[in-house]
């Protein structure tokens, strides 16, 4: 079962991305644990449910599942790591990372809330010309997505740490100017009722 740290990190990231998309990127579809069906290297069908999966151009409509044939590959996949599955998720040769590469995912980011599995909080890859290239952070530890125009940075959980010093680290979302892109839960709730800001 997922730990409290895993659940907190995943909730924070999913909420941030959904809120950002509602206000600034209405073509995005942000999924969490949503089934995605694809075929691996022309062989058997795979069904995966990434922690975070962002399609940049299919729109926000609710789905039962998504498919490679119908929706295309996700632009970005993020997995929040936890034992014992983390090695399979981190394997870009024959594991889950290899599947994402084979179906055309452009960017793949792993987030380790405790930095105790990877030894760092984040490890990522970008694929082009048929090869995996390490996704390097900038000098401030920020991982900028070329496909989505936003950034990610490990930060202390801004909502939980005041009440619980052990709350840990979450993956903060940054807009294109490098500003925190987190919207409050209340603003996200109201965003469906209010007109989009231009």
Domain ranges of the chain: 4-191
For 52-87, the pLDDT digits (tens) are: 999 999 999 999 999 999 999 999 999 999 988 899
Question: Residue 86's closest CA among 62, 126, 115, 54?
Answer: 115
C-alpha to C-alpha distance for 37 and 56, rounded to whole angstroms: 17
pLDDT above 80 (res 186): no
For 142-185, the pLDDT digits (tens) are: 999 999 999 999 988 766 555 565 567 889 999 999 988 865 44
Which DSSP string corresponds to 132-191? EEE----TTS-EE-TTTS-EEEEEE-TTTTTT-TT--EEEEEE-TTS-B----HHHHHHH
Q: In the CATH scheme, what is the code of domain 4-191?
A: 3.90.1570
| 99-117 CB burial, b ≥16 within 10 A, e <16 | bbbbbebbbbbbbbbeeeb
H or E segment to which residue 19 belongs: helix 4-24
For 106-154, the pLDDT digits (tens) are: 999 999 998 999 999 999 999 887 778 999 999 999 999 999 999 999 9
**CA separation, residue 22 to residues 26, 55, 77, 132 (Å):** 6, 14, 19, 31
48 touches 96 (CB < 8 A): yes
Residue 182 confidence (pLDDT): 65
């Amino acid at each position: 079962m997922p730990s409290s740290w895993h659940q907190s990190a995943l909730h924070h990231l999913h909420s941030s991305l959904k809120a950002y998309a509602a206000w600034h990127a209405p073509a995005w579809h942000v999924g969490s644990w949503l089934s995605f069906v694809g075929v691996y290297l022309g062989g058997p069908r795979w069904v995966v449910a990434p922690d975070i999966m962002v399609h940049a151009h299919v729109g926000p409509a609710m789905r039962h599942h998504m498919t490679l044939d119908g929706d295309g590959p996700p632009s970005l996949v993020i997995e929040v790591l936890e034992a014992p599955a983390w090695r399979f998720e981190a394997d870009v040769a024959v594991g889950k990372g290899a599947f994402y590469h084979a179906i055309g995912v452009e960017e793949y980011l792993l987030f380790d809330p405790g930095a105790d599995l990877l030894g760092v909080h984040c490890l990522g890859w970008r694929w082009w010309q048929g090869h995996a290239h390490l996704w390097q952070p900038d000098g401030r530890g920020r991982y900028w997505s070329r496909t989505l125009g936003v950034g990610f940075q490990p930060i202390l959980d801004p909502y939980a740490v005041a009440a619980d010093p052990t709350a840990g680290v979450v993956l903060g979302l940054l807009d294109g100017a490098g500003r925190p892109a987190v919207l409050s839960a209340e603003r996200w709730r109201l965003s469906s009722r209010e007109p989009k800001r231009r």
